[in-house]
Each structure stands twice: as C-alpha cells, then as structure tokens.
Chains A and B, each alone.
Chain A
Amino acid sequence: MARTIRLMGVVPLGDLAAYVEFSRTLDLQVNALVQRLAVAVQARGAPFIRDVVPALGGLALHFDPAFDGNCVEVASALIELCLEEGVSASEDVLRTVQVPVCYEPEFAPDMEEVAQKTKLSAAEVQELHSAAEYRVLMMGFAPGHAYMGGLNAKLAVPRRASPRAVVAAGSIAIANEQAVVYPYAISGGWNVIGRTPLAVFDPERQEPSLFASGDRVRFRAIDKAEFLKLLGKR
C-alpha cells in the first residue's frame, strides 16, 4: 500500500552535485519513488543540470560547471517542486527486457558452488533464476551495468570471498538478493551462473545500454547452439 516516503536530506557530492537521500537501506517502494522522481526532474529540463542519476535509496543531480549557485539549495528546491506536483506510478514506462542466457558449465564458473550453498541442483538454480521477474533498481559501477532486484530468496548467496580478476562480458551473476549482468570483461565478486550473447553496452547503438533503471527483466534459458547463433548476429 502507498505510504508516505520522507526526504531524509540533500547533501553535497562536491560543489557541482547533490545527493537527494530517501533511505539508507534497500526499500523497493523508495526505489520506485526515486526512479519516478528522476524522470520528473529530468522532464523539467533545468538548463544547469547535466545528469540525473537514480540510485537505490536516492538520486544524484549533477550540475554544469558554469552553474553559479549553491547546488544543495537548488537541488532541494527542485525536488520539493517535483514532490509537491506529485510523481505518479501511472507515468511509469513499463518496459520488459528479454535476456537469453546460456547456463551451461563453460559459461557458469560458479554454478556448482551456488548449487552446493543453496542445496539445490544446477538445473533447479537455473529454473529458479529464469522463472523470476526482475526489476532494474540501479545502473552504475560500469556503463550498462544493472543492479536487479527480484532474485528468488532461495538463491541468496553472499558474494565470493575473493573477487575474480576478470569476469567475461555478458556474465549473469547473483549475490544476496540481486542479479547483475557484466557489460564488459571486468573484475567482479558476484557468483557467475550463466552468460548472455547480447551486447549489454554498445556505444554505436541507438540505445547504448540494454538496460535502464526501472526496467523489468526476464531471463530465458538457451543452449550453446543458440548462444553462438545469437552471438554471431551481433
């Protein structure tokens, strides 16, 4: 049920950005409000604001260096204005991104460990992972990197004790109650249980990022043959 979500505060992130904080813990209702608020702030098109970044428990407003004033005061006023006008769920853009995933062992280096820790079989892990609907709670860490909520609680395992130096691009990984897709081959500590052949981030594409904050995401299991076929189409 809808409840009142209170603004905790607006703090400077340097003198050219402000962080508008609503929660210090993960709260899905807060996260949904943050995303709507980011859309509302963006829509106002304030000329001195260059970036609006929704995160898990609040949003950041980044200012143009030519901006003359106090970023916290201006951000506070802008947020208050948007909150007064009201941000409604009806304006949510409902988009579902379908992500094909190959869960076969060569793409899933941590599958066995996850299966052990959760006392499930690899097939059950795959089943539970691809059955759920996810929601992108935050974009960050790297271009196109999405933090998704909605992982089945039975699959909640901690991050790896020692992060891998390189995780392959397109790796699907889980930790705690979230899922991520690695856009590039980068280091990472999440448990890799599959890989998608899709380009997660492509600067040449009309929409560079496969995911955006607020997106719904569904994973679909594919075999290696289809993985290679889709990879070839990129």
Chain B
Amino acid sequence: MSVKVLRPGLLTTVQDHGRYGLQHIGLCPGGAMDPFSLALANALVGNPPDEAALEITVIGPELQFEEDSLVAVCGAEFQGGFPHNRPVLAPAGSRYNVGRAVRGARAYLAVAGGFAIDPVLGSRSTYLPGGFGGFKGRSLRHGDVLPLKGNEVKRFKSLKRTRDGTVPWSAPPRTLPDREPIVVHVMEGQHFEAFAAATQRAFFDTVWRVAPDSNRMGFRLGGAPLERAGGDEILSGPTCLGTVQVPPNGIPIALMADHQTTGGYPKIAEIASADVARLAQLAPGGKVHFARCTLEMAAELRRHMRGELEATLRGIAWEYGT
C-alpha cells in the first residue's frame, strides 16, 4: 500500500496536529497551517482528527495510488484532481493531478488509515527548519513512495454513494476567503502601547498583502512600513502562533505554524486563534485587513469555530454510521 509522487508540486509535506510540550527547548508545535481543514479531510475518510495528511501548497502535486484507496481533499480549491470536500474512491493505478490553487492556498489530502510514518517527538509533522518529522524531514520529491498503514477502503462501503466513486454530499471548509481583503481579528499585542498613535492607526487602516517571501514560519505583510517608536530595544520574550511582530524595517511578520518560540521584536498584535487558519489560506499577494477585538471576543470566536467543526464532524460520523 503506497502513494507514489510523480510530481511534487510547490511544497507538499506530511502534517498532523503538531508536537506539543517542547516549546521550553525552543521547538514550536508546527503541524498543519489549517488544522480545521485537516480535521475535516481526516473525518471524511474515517480517520481520527489528528492523523497525518499531505499539506498541498499553492501548486499541487501529481500522485499515483498503488491500490484502491479512499481519499479526501479539504481546504483550498485546486484545479483538477478529485472532487473536493468529500470521500472519493481512487482506483488502483489512478493518478491525482492537481494544478494551481484557485481559492485559498493550502489543501489537505487524507488517505483512509493514514500514512505509515513513524512519529518523531510525538508527531508526524514535517519540521522543515530542523529537517525532521514527516517524510524524511523534507517536502516531497519526484519519485518518493509514501507507505500507507493499510487498506481501509472498506469503510467506503458503509456510505451511500454515487456511481462516480463519491457521495452525494460534501463538507465545505470554513477557512477559505470569500472575498479579499479577509478580515482577521487581533488583540493588542504586548508592545502595542509603545507604538505611536499614528502607527497604531496605520496598522488597522492598512490593507496588507501577504509578501512572496512568506512561508510556514511566518507571513511578511507588505504595505507602507510601520514606524517603530524610540526605545526599540526590548527584552526577548515568548511568541505564539499568530503573534504579529515588527522588525526594524517596519514590515510586520505574522508568526505561523513553524514559528520561533521566542523573539526580540516588538509585538504589535496577536491574532485570534480562530482566525489564524483563515490567514493561512491566503496565498502570496492575498489581502488582509485587521480588526480589533478583545480577549473575550477572541475566546468566543474560538468556541464558535470549534462548535461548528464539531457539528460537521458529527455529521460526517453519522454518514459513516458511527
């Protein structure tokens, strides 16, 4: 049981929900940039929500399935490939040829049963800066053969399905941009007050563009650079997924999945956790606008997002009769 990589795409990596409990030695949790879409893709093939899947970025791969496989793709919409957001039976020898992302930036391809890859430090996520985890600690390359844990295709038989190897329903992702700029909620960061009033206003007034040199570690935000106030020297301190920091060049950086665990730049804002995955779905050039929120509002957004996800997961489980 395996999947063969015929063309790797721009950046295709194995990701799960990440590794926790290691930030005190400088290792960030990492994992899927859009964990909501990962959870949906897994549920669609009957996997536990934290099973590892392929994270496909902006330009998709071409894959070949060695045997009949039950797969699902969730998250960004790409040209070509399988129908999205539903379980699909990929027949033995079939090719999955994915083009460019047309909406969103990252999709998750889950295979029933999951990939047979040993976890490193408690996770199957690829950590590119350290070169470990996932498939050989790197993004996929031409000719790679990814082993699968086992053939779980029989799960598909419990579903009411259509003639073309899928089902008459779908579970749309909740993180894709409807229109740009997307609105992302942020709380004031630890050093917000240290920025001049005009800079604080500029941060919220600007429509920021995700710069081309953005990656899984951080998104650089293009726009008129922010002015940094006088006392620039701050003591290095902890950072978090979604921290927005401002280096001396004034170009804000939003910290993403593979972020540094500490940083020495002033933190102007902190993105509400429910909105980080929506930001992750912006490709370079994508536009974002920040809206101020309180800690209470951010917590409410988080509960709401989780409630919606859980309802969708229950619906999918019901289709599987579990």
B224-262 residues with Cβ-Cβ distance < 8 A to A are 234-243, 260-262
Least distance between B236 CB and chain A CB atoms (Å): 6
How far, in whole Å, are A21 and B234 apart by their CA atoms in the complex? 13
Cβ 8 A contact of B298, one of A15, A23, A140: A15
Query: Is B295 in contact with A15, judged by CB distance below 8 angstroms?
Result: yes
How far, in whole Å, are A138 and B20 apart by their CA atoms in the complex? 18
Query: Is A14 in contact with B243, judged by CB distance below 8 angstroms?
Result: yes
How far, in whole Å, are A186 and B296 apart by their CA atoms in the complex? 38
Cβ 8 A contact of A70, one of B20, B27, B263, B296: B296
How far, in whole Å, are A183 and B25 apart by their CA atoms in the complex? 11
Residue of B24, B263, B273, B296 ringed by the most chain A CB atoms within 10 A: B24
A129 an interface residue at 8 Å Cβ cutoff? Answer: no
Query: Is B130 in contact with A201, judged by CB distance below 8 angstroms?
Result: yes
Q: Which residues of B contact A54 (CB under 8 A)?
A: 24
Cβ 8 A contact of B273, one of A14, A70, A213: A14
Query: Is B306 in contact with A65, judged by CB distance below 8 angstroms?
Result: yes
A94 an interface residue at 8 Å Cβ cutoff? Answer: no
Q: Provided the pairs A70-B296, A213-B24 are in contact, do residues A56 and B120 lie with their beta carbons within 8 angstroms?
A: no
* Interface membership of chain B positions 100-137, coded 1 if the CB is closer than 8 angstroms to chain A and 0 otherwise: 00000000000000000000110000000111110000
Least distance between B310 CB and chain A CB atoms (Å): 10
Q: Provided the pairs A12-B187, A14-B271, A65-B273 are in contact, do residues A145 and B26 lie with their beta carbons within 8 angstroms?
A: yes
How far, in whole Å, are A176 and B36 apart by their CA atoms in the complex? 44
Q: Which residues of A contact B206 (CB under 8 A)?
A: none
Residue of A51, A58, A139 ringed by the most chain B CB atoms within 10 A: A51
A16 an interface residue at 8 Å Cβ cutoff? Answer: yes
Query: Is B21 in contact with A203, judged by CB distance below 8 angstroms?
Result: no
How far, in whole Å, are A57 and B264 apart by their CA atoms in the complex? 12
Q: Could you list 24 examples of A-B contacts with CB < 8 Å? A: A12-B270, A12-B295, A13-B238, A14-B270, A21-B237, A38-B24, A50-B20, A50-B29, A55-B262, A60-B238, A65-B302, A69-B299, A70-B295, A139-B25, A140-B26, A142-B26, A142-B260, A143-B27, A144-B25, A183-B26, A184-B129, A201-B25, A208-B22, A208-B121
Chain A residues close to B by CB (< 8 Å)? 11-17, 19, 21, 23-26, 38, 50-60, 62, 65-66, 68-72, 138-145, 147, 183-184, 186, 201, 203-204, 208-209, 211-213
Question: Apart from A16-B241, A19-B190, A203-B121, what 7 extra A-B contacts exist at CB < 8 Å?
Answer: A12-B295, A14-B298, A16-B240, A53-B24, A59-B238, A62-B240, A208-B121
